[in-house]
Structures are given as structure tokens and as C-alpha cells.
Amino acid sequence: MTSFTRGSLTLQPSLPRNRWNQLLTLVAGLFTALAVLPLIVVIAYVLFKGGSLITVRLLTELPPPPGLEGGGIGNAILGTLLVTLVASLIAVPVGVGSGVYLAEYAKGGAFSRFVRFGANVLAGVPSIICGVFVYGLIVSTRVFFGQSYSAMAGGIALAVLMLPTVIKTTDEALKLVPQELRWGAMGVGASRFITISRITLPAAFSPIATGVVLAIARAAGETAPLIFTALFSPFWPEGLFNPIASMSVLIYNFAIMPYDAQIALAWASSFVLVVMILAANLLARWLGRFNRP
Amino acid sequence: MAAGVRPELFSQRRRPLWELLIDRGFHKVVVLLAAVVGLVLFGILLTVVGGSREAVLRFGLGFITNSDWDPLAEHYGAFTAIYGTLVSSLLALLIAVPLGVGTAVFLTENIIPLAVRQVLGVMVELLAAIPSVVLGLWGIFVMEPFLRPGLETLHRLLGWIPFFSTTPQGPGMAPAVLILVVMILPIITAISRDSLMQVPISLRQAAYGVGSTRWGAIVQVILPAALSGITGGVMLALGRAMGETMAVTMLIGNSNTFSLSLLAPANTISSMLANQFGEADGLQVSALMYAALVLMLLTLAVNLLAQLVVRRLSLKM
Amino acid sequence: MTDSSTCLALENVSISYSGQLAVSGVFMNIPRGKVTAFIGPSGCGKSTVLRALNRMNDLIEGCALTGRVVFDGHDLYDPRVDAVEVRRRIGMVFQKPNPFPKSIYENIAFGARINGFRGDMDELVERALRKAALWDETKDKLRESGYALSGGQQQRLCIARAIAIEPEVILMDEPCSALDPISTLKIEEMMHELRKSYTIVIVTHNMQQAVRVSDYTGFYNVTAQPGSDRKVGALVEFAETVNIFNAPKQQATQDYVTGRFG
């Protein structure tokens, strides 16, 4: 005897529970479509509208003065590359070094907990605050040869932004390296430095490289930390201690201008930027496949 | 010297000095590099607190409740921007959470083939990689003109409600909220998806085993089990939304006039910083630093809360 | 106290983890040019003592040692002693085969290179692989990854790696516990060759293996601390292997080797 009513084994789509199932599945599918739609539309717009404008001239020339036609975004492309390079040259060594400290040397003491906590907090600091910080630290104090806005300041602001990502990636990647490998190296008389530089870091290369590439890609598209650190320049880059153009700031500045030529250049910049960033993302995915040499 | 025990004295075999120095030096170097994070954090705090001192002393806490931002009269109150920051990010969250969690469920359940799900998952992740400024450009020239007729209808029909009381004129709170939704969706989706995938398969089997339907299992067993991760992701997204600058700045209209209407131009702390910081001087810089301090404290609180929530909820499991 | 026939002398060695005593009061003279086996039930501290012999315990958080471990007239735990140098003179083979994610050749060359080896690397690699009885199996694929080898071959590669830096002592921490019987046999045969050139200390949970490979055997056991129920390891008996297995002096040893516990 049972106290439950038993239904037929045949599927009855009209049962309330089956109706609910269908409805919820439909809703979830709809949500997914809504979430993916913007991506497709944004990418399509950027690729078609921006891509159709791309010419060799556009990639190699300076932007035109307001009101004039033609011109290009050559200085902004070069500027983005330069500023991102400066940022990477600062953030990657500092970040990987900190990650190595956390994973290989730290003994769970107050300092290492503070560093981990600090990296977490820094990761949550809005990017515009990084800009404010570097403005206060470098731009307004004119520490670099009396220059205020400079490519260097922009690079440092982006480096602050990249730092927590690189630290966390390195820390986590090194923790995945089996302890036995470290013992093996120590067992043949390797010092800490040799164990880390020759065994553990190479073993963790692929995840670290993936994280670093993603961090660089993110930094390359950042605008907020650059608007009042690197500023903008309608000219070719004049060294690291002068204002410099970048694609992201160009998009921001030109998008709100009332001139069609400038708006077209903003779309073209978006195209170049998005293609570069998507390429970096694909590169990161590809790097992630090499788990073991 | 292949065979036999070598009689060398222990003290005669020593690592070369340079090797010892490199080993010790490397240790010192990485400790110093790790200290950089702390220095940067203190630097940020010092810069913002130090820079805002003048405005803090002059306006006190009234800065937060006063909505009068007047550079000519040298009187500053950031209520409009703080309100804008909170409203835009909370509204964006309200829309993005069901969408993101729904998408995450759809991408972890076996409703559609795995290959399709993986492609969709990668696409959502790529959306997170698109720079904010590019989304802003798209928002200005594609999304906002496309939405305007809809917003105008909304105003015509529901204009008697204060939230829709102004005629949409292009930039405003509503387009900014929607672009924020696009920006935080990938974060919520990705983190929810990770948390859902970490729910042990045995739990799912147990639910199906007692005769649960697919959605019965999802709603009653799987989502609760993944709750800590999802909540953490939502809080992270909230922090990101509050600090988000470019796309919002390009779409919100940057008006310091307070309005309840979602269709009117508004402002957020970060867009105010982006707009005015470069050209400000004197007391205005200090007032902007004060606003930056408020933003920092808000995001810090949200992020700390996120870590706390994740720790609390995952302990219960 | 130590004469020329003693390689490593443990003088009242006690080891603790985060303040918890793990092994206490070990006195032991490990003879030079012989194979010494450590046996005993799990938790008796035999591996802990082994790892103390080349300061591998330094890598474990909160591990502390009192007493002296004398090697070549030096206390290995003297603050002036360089732990890295200790490990170059006292090599180690671990429980789980742990080749580096490098080629077979590089696995062996790595240790030699960081030890400042200047000479014919090809010859050194061949010599080490021959001694580890791995040359015939690997001579045609030296450039392949060490991970491509079977578990037993990997462990022999690790032994070759340890031999290549010409240590005076080789420590082996249950080197065969993760291997099948045939691989185990090969490693035991190899140890008969190695004993001619090196002092070997091996930890094993397999008593037959201790009988087959060792000259001396130390039996460790766990005993409850007086006044508490915490268990601490100690050396019960140390003698020639034949005596340990045929004429043990202690009742606990007798019980253990006859299989009455452990």
C-alpha cells in the first residue's frame, strides 16, 4: 500500500510540472539569446562599420584637424602599443615577482596575507581611481623632467591596473605545480632560485602566459586611467615624457565631436582595437593548451 | 672518480659565492616586489585622502547629501553623482542578474548540444574583453537611437510616474543602465557558470533520483548549492558597475542637475571624474578627489562584502 | 664518537612539526658504503628521520629538529652549513617518481649543470643511465620527455638523476611503493650495483625488501607518550639486518618482523 498516487509512465506534456519545465527552459534560452545578442551586434557593427573604413592611409596617417576630411589613426595605434608596452614592462616583472613570493616563499605570515588581501582590494579599485592616483603622484607633481601629462604616466596607470591580475595568475599557477617537482630539484642540490627559475616557473609557464596576455589585452582597451595621465596628442609620439595619443582615448574624444570624419576615425579605431584584443584573447586560449612541455 | 667513497672534506666543497648571493638576492627582490602592491594601495589612499582634505574640511558630510555642484560659486555637493552611481549600478544589476544566471543555467544544463554551449560560453567571455569605450561608441550611435522610440512611448504612456517624467533627448540614465547591463552580464554569467559547474554531480543525481524534474532539481538543489559563488560574482559585478567609467560617461549625459526621471541626463562619480578632472583646478580638484574617495569606499565595501559573503556561504555547505 | 666507518651519525635527534613531537631521541651511526634500511609501522617517523638527513624537512612548514646530525665531521644543522650544499652531497629519491618536465637527457644534465659540472655531458648522462640500468631502454629517445616513460622507468630516471651529481649518500624514501613487482625487482638489482659506490639509506614498508637489499636495519616504532595519548616515533633497535630479522633483542622488533602487527 502506498500513500502516493501513481501516475502513468507515459510522458504527459500537459502535466503542470512538464509545462513548467518547458516554460523555464524557454525563458533560459531567451535569456541566453539576449545575453549573446549584444556581442554579435557590437562585433558586427565594429567589424563592418570600422572594417570598411580601413585603408593603408588610415593606419599610417595623423588625424585631421577638426572640420577637415581624411587622415588616419597611425599615431594612436603607435601610442597604444607604446603605453601598453610600458605598462607590461612594469606590471609583468613586479606581478610575477610578487606571485613567486606568495607561492614559493611566503609562510602564511602577516605580510603574505597582507599582500594577497592587497591584490584583491587593488583588483576592485575602479580604473578611473588608478588615473586619479597617477595624476596626483606623477602628473600634478611633474616628477618626470617637469613634464605633466606623459606616456610614462599613462603606462604606470595601466600597470597599476594590470598588477593584481598578474599577481593572482602567477600565484595560482605556481600553486598548481606539484610539490614533488620542487623536492626533486632540491634533492639534486638546486637552490631556491634555481628551483624557481629553472623548474617551477617553466612548469607554470602556460597558465601564467595566458593570464599575462589577458591582462595586457584588457589594459590596451582601457581609457579611464589614460584620459588625464597620457592625455591625447594629435601628433606622432614624442618620447615617453610627452602626452601621447592612444586608440581608446581617440575613440572617446572623437565620438563626441560633431564631425563625420572624426566619428569615422573612432569607428576605425574601434575596429583595430577590437581585432587586437580578440586576437590576444585567442592567443591566450591557444597558450592555455600547453599544459605540459 | 666513479667508484669509492670520496674523502674530500665537507668544508672544501662550497657553492660559489656568486651563486649564494643570487639565491639570497632573489629572495630579497621578490619580497620587495610583493611590497609594491601595498605601497600602491597606500599611495592611492594617501593621494585621494590627501587631495580631498580641503573639500572634506570645507563641506564635511554635507557633500554627500547636497546636490549643488557649482564650480563658479565654488560650492560642491556630490549627491547627484552618488545617487547616479548607486541607481545606475543597482538597476543594471536588477536586469543583469536574472539574465546572467539564466544564461549560466542554460549553458551548464544539457538542453542544447555541448559544442553549441561551449561556443556560446566563449562568446560571452569575449564580450567581457570588448573595451568599455567601444561599447560606449556603439551605445551612442547604435543602441541609443534604436531605443529612443521605445523610451518615448514609455514616457507617453507612463509619464505620470516620476521615473519617466521627462522626454528622452538622447543621453540619459536609461541608456547608461542598459550599457552597464551589457558590461556586467559576462561577469555574472561566467562566475555563475563556474559555480554551477562545481556543484558535485552526485547532488544532481540525488535530486533526479527522488523523481525531481529538471527545473525542480535546478531551482531546489543546484542553484542553492552554487549560491555562494553566484552571490560573490554578483557582488563583484556590482563593484565593477559602480566603478565603470567610459561607456557610462558617453551615454549618461553628464548633468549635475538632479532628476528622478530615468529618461533624463544624469551623472555618476566616475563619469564626473572623467569629464572634469583634466580641466579642474583648485577647490574643484579637491572636491573631485572627495567624490573619488566616496567611490573608493563604496567599491571597497562592496568588494569586501563579496569576499565575506563567499566565505560565509561556502562554510555552510 | 664517530669513527671512519660511520657516514652519518644521529645524536639524540628529535623532530617536531609545529611544536608536536614526531620522533624523539634517535641515536644512530649509519655505516659508510653500506645499505641501511629503516622499517617500521606507518607513523613511526622513519621517513621523517630520512628527510632530516639531507635537510629536506627545511621545506616543510613548522618542522624543527633538536640534536645533531653529523656528516663528515660537521653538524648538518649548524647555522653555518648550507642546506643546498648538503643536498648536493646527499642525494634523494622520492616515494613518487618525480622527473622534471624536461627531456630524459635534460633530467640528468640539469643537476650536473647546476652543480657546476664541466666536462662531457653526453658521457655523464650515459654513465648515470647505465648505472641506473636505464641506458638500453632510453638510449634512442634521450630527447623525449621524461613523462613518456613508465612509472618504473621514471623512478630509475630519478635515481640516475641523483647519481649524476655524484653524491656520497643516496637517500631513498620508499622508492618502490608506487611501482609494480617487476619494476621493484629491477630497482633492487640496481641497488646491489650502487652499494659498491655509495652509502644508501632506504625507507621501506616492505620487510622482504629490507632483507633483500640492506646490510643494516633500523626498526622504528610508535609509542604512546607517558602521560598522554599522543604517539611519538622512536628508534627501537638498530643492528645488522640478519640480526634484526633472525635474533632481535627487543620484543617489539620480534613482533613486527614476524608480522604480529604493523
Name all domains of chain C by residue range, CATH numbers in brackets.
6-257 (3.40.50.300)
Number of H helices, E strands in chain A: 14, 0
Q: Which of A24, A39, A121 sits opposite B215 (nearest CB)?
A: A24
Check residue C56 and report its DSSP letter.
G
Domain with A132, as residue range(s), is: 76-246
How do residues C32-64 score in pLDDT, each as one tens digit?
A: 989 999 999 888 889 999 999 988 888 787 888
Check residue C148 and report its DSSP letter.
G
B17 vs C contacts (CB less than 8 Å): none
B35 vs A contacts (CB less than 8 Å): 115
Q: Which of B4, B9, B20 sits opposite C197 (nearest CB)?
A: B4
C61 touches chain A (CB under 8 A): yes
> DSSP of C150-171, one letter per residue?
-HHHHHHHHHHHHHHT--SEEE
> DSSP of A226-261, one letter per residue?
HHTTT---SS----TTS----HHHHHHHHHTSS-HH
How do the pLDDT tens digits run along chain B, 317 residues long?
Answer: 333 333 343 334 567 788 888 888 999 999 999 999 999 999 999 999 999 999 999 998 888 888 888 888 888 889 999 999 999 999 999 999 999 999 998 888 877 788 888 888 888 888 888 999 999 999 999 999 998 888 888 888 887 887 888 888 888 899 999 999 999 999 999 889 888 888 888 787 788 777 777 787 888 888 888 888 888 889 889 998 999 899 999 999 888 888 888 888 899 999 999 988 878 888 899 999 999 999 999 999 998 888 887 777 665 54
Check residue C142 and report its DSSP letter.
T
Report pLDDT for B178. 93
pLDDT over threshold 70, residue A42: yes
A156 vs B contacts (CB less than 8 Å): none
- Asked, for residue A207, whether it belongs to a domain, the answer is yes
Strand partners for C71: C8, C74
Rounded to a whole number of angstroms, the distance from the CA of C100 to the nearest CA of chain A is 6
C93 vs A contacts (CB less than 8 Å): 187
Query: Domains along chain B?
Result: 80-316 (1.10.3720.10)
Residue B281 grid coordinates: 583646478
pTM: 0.85
Whole-number Å distance between alpha carbons of A164 and B37:
8
Q: Hey, how many other C-beta atoms are within 10 angstroms of the C-beta on B295?
A: 27
Nearest CA in chain B to A271: B134
Total of domains in chain A: 1
Rounded to a whole number of angstroms, the distance from the CA of B21 to the nearest CA of chain C is 13
**Does the beta-carbon distance from B14 to C166 stay under 8 Å?**
no
Mean pLDDT in chain C?
Answer: 88
Match 644543522 to its residue by C-alpha cell: C77
Tell me the backbone φ, ψ of residue A89, rounded to 5 degrees: -65, -25
Q: How confident is the model at residue A90 (pLDDT cuts 50, 70, 90)?
A: very high
- Asked, for residue A95, whether it belongs to a domain, the answer is yes
Q: How confident is the model at residue C3 (pLDDT cuts 50, 70, 90)?
A: low
Whole-number Å distance between alpha carbons of A208 and A171:
9
Identify the CATH number of the domain in which residue A163 sits. Answer: 1.10.3720.10
The count of C-alpha atoms lying within 13 angstroms of the C-alpha of A256, restricted to the half-sphere facing its C-beta, is 16
B23 touches chain C (CB under 8 A): yes
Check residue B11 and report its DSSP letter.
G
Q: How far is CA A189 from CA A180, A192, C28, C68, C163, in A?
A: 14, 9, 25, 21, 12
Rounded to a whole number of angstroms, the distance from the CA of B66 to the nearest CA of chain A is 22
B189 vs A contacts (CB less than 8 Å): 35
**Does the beta-carbon distance from B20 to C82 stay under 8 Å?**
yes
Contact in structure between B278 and A227 (CB atoms under 8 Å): yes
Rounded to a whole number of angstroms, the distance from the CA of A145 to the nearest CA of chain B is 20
- Asked, for residue A254, whether it belongs to a domain, the answer is no
Residue C132 vs residue B316, higher pLDDT:
C132
C177 touches chain A (CB under 8 A): no
A37 touches chain B (CB under 8 A): no
Rounded to a whole number of angstroms, the distance from the CA of C257 to the nearest CA of chain B is 32
Strand partners for C220: C235
Rounded to a whole number of angstroms, the distance from the CA of A292 to the nearest CA of chain B is 23
Whole-number Å distance between alpha carbons of A83 and A150:
10
Contact in structure between C7 and C31 (CB atoms under 8 Å): yes
How would you classify the pairing of strands C63-71 and C74-75?
A: antiparallel
Report pLDDT for B96. 94
> Residue type at A17?
R
**Does the beta-carbon distance from A187 to C61 stay under 8 Å?**
no
**Does the beta-carbon distance from C91 to A194 stay under 8 Å?**
no
B278 vs A contacts (CB less than 8 Å): 227-228, 231
A191 vs C contacts (CB less than 8 Å): 84, 114
pLDDT over threshold 70, residue C137: yes
- Asked, for residue A209, whether it belongs to a domain, the answer is yes
How do residues C211-238 score in pLDDT, each as one tens digit?
A: 999 999 999 998 877 666 678 889 999 9
Tell me the backbone φ, ψ of residue C34, rounded to 5 degrees: -125, 170
Whole-number Å distance between alpha carbons of C58 and A195:
15
Core vs surface per residue C239-252: b (16+ CB within 10 A) or e: bebeebbeebeeeb
A192 touches chain B (CB under 8 A): yes
B1 touches chain C (CB under 8 A): yes
State the complex-level ipTM: 0.89
